Amino acid sequence: MKKVSIYNFFLILPILILLSIQSVRAEEIFLGTSGGNINDVNRTFCCSGTLGALVHDINYQYILSNNHVLAMTNTGVIGDDIIQPGLIDQSPVCYQDTNDVVADLSDFVPISFTKRTINLVDAAIAKVRIDKVNSSGSILNIGPVSISTVPPTINMEVQKNGRTTGLTTGTVTAVDVTVRVSYNKTCGKGSQTATFTNQFIISSAGFSAGGDSGSLIVENCSPYPRAVGLLFAGSNTTTVANPINNVLSGLSVSMVGVGSYCTVSTTGIGNTSMTKQLQLPPQANERAKEAVRKVKERHEESILDIDGVVGVGIGLSETVPGQVVIEVYTKKPTHQMSRVIPETLESIPVKMIETGEIIAF
């Protein structure tokens, strides 16, 4: 999550002027914009993320974002004010303006930091205040999304709109990822590491940055793309996200949107055609991926215990077309890690990727 020092106001003034365009809004805001918990501030720093999407249950509509954005990493209180823009985009910076409250913290999935425990999502919702959020769920630069969702697959083309980097596109490069994510000591009031499983990765510099946490990741097509995941962590080269279906089930909500979704077809939209995405080569079929997944699971714990390793996932070989491999993500240079990480696991090739430390944005 993006943080800023109260004492660095003049250093960020040009950024604030640029972001003022995004902060100017009608009474009803759109999603994919700056926001967060009004209490996420101390004497030195304040923090903000992205208000990602609109969801609902049988009674209400809610803003969807991360636990660490809306609930300050497990420390928020139900009913806390959620503001737009977030604290770092206020003028003056870090000003707690109650006039900008758009929702109230309603629920969050707790994040466990206990060793050897795992998490599925970093997610929270906030009940929308009357006439404060566009009820269509429209996302800046993307528009309304579909009520349908789709699981991430390797080579799927995706997009998101976030507080810091705006509208960006990328490609899913790995699935079934287990990753250790660092939560810093200034945003969220804690300095701990949490392990997440069943995540997916977009390996693209510039797809996201600090402050984009909470962004909804959707298919790269229009109109009415389906939701794929919820962005919550990454590094300079890597973005990590929760699959959207785990997010929605964890909070007992559904997407707000349109009953159709975009397809490859140039004739319009529909509910039966395949969505616009690159397809896996024939060799990388589900049977192959399942075999690799089982090998990964057998060795995952021992690989994660290696100093310098931050995650393990399933991707594709860069040298053999269509070959499914086990990816190992490191915060140390790969030439150093090659001495302690095997080239294969039960005959499955291992591909090392230097991601750096994975941090909750």
Tens digit of pLDDT for each residue in 316-327? 999 999 899 999
With beta carbons less than 8 A apart as the criterion, state whether 43 and 89 touch.
no
d(CA 351, CA 280): 18
Tens digit of pLDDT for each residue in 289-333? 899 999 999 999 999 999 999 999 999 999 999 899 999 999 999
pLDDT above 50 (res 264): no
Number of separate domains in the chain: 3
**Mean of pLDDT over the chain:** 89
- Both 252 and 296 in a single domain? no
Residue 149 forms part of a structural domain:
no
Tens digit of pLDDT for each residue in 205-226? 899 999 999 999 999 999 999 9
Residue 279 forms part of a structural domain:
no
Domain stops at, among 215, 243, 270: 270
Residue 198 forms part of a structural domain:
yes
Domain stops at, among 222, 240, 270: 270
- Both 26 and 107 in a single domain? yes
pLDDT of residue 16: 43
Tens digit of pLDDT for each residue in 163-206? 999 999 999 999 999 999 999 866 755 579 999 999 999 998 89
pLDDT above 90 (res 18): no
**Domain boundaries, position 240:** 157-270
Question: 201 CB contacts (<8 Å, ≥6 apart)?
Answer: 172, 173, 174, 175, 177, 238, 239, 240, 241, 313, 315, 329
d(CA 234, CA 164): 14
pLDDT of residue 246: 98
Percent helix, strand, coil in the chain (nearest 5)? 15, 40, 45
Q: Looking at 10-24, 99-113, 227-241, 347-361, which range is the least confident one?
A: 10-24
- Both 265 and 290 in a single domain? no
d(CA 223, CA 268): 9
- Both 313 and 234 in a single domain? no
pLDDT of residue 3: 67
Residue 150 forms part of a structural domain:
no
d(CA 56, CA 217): 18
- pTM score: 0.88
- Both 20 and 111 in a single domain? yes
Residue 139 forms part of a structural domain:
no
d(CA 22, CA 33): 7
Query: What is the domain-level CATH number for residue 325?
Result: 3.30.300.50
Give the helix ranges, DSSP H, for 181-285.
Answer: 244-251
